[in-house]
Amino acid sequence: MKTKEHSYTVQIEPVKEGGFWSRVPALSGCFSQGETIEETIQNTKEAIELYLEGLANDKQDIPEESEFAVSVRIPVTV
């Protein structure tokens, strides 16, 4: 059995009530949260591992990160 390493973009946002929320755009439905950014990152890594493990167990393809993903910043005057 061979092992392949995957890399995914994780989006993290603060939550008004406190803590942080994350999502993995390339993995539909893969979300997590945490009290700190570090905890959120760790929890998100665990969520990704479980998500990919589930796909592998179901013999489904592992999604790859889009090569065309970009981040843009748009200034807005408020």
Domain segments of the chain: what residues?
11-57
pTM above 0.85, yes or no: no
Contact partners, residue 65, CB within 8 Å, separation at least 6:
6, 7, 8, 9, 26
Question: pLDDT tens digit string along 5-47?
Answer: 889 999 999 999 999 999 999 999 999 999 999 999 999 999 9
Position 75 scores a pLDDT of 80
User: For the chain, what is the mean pLDDT?
Assistant: 90
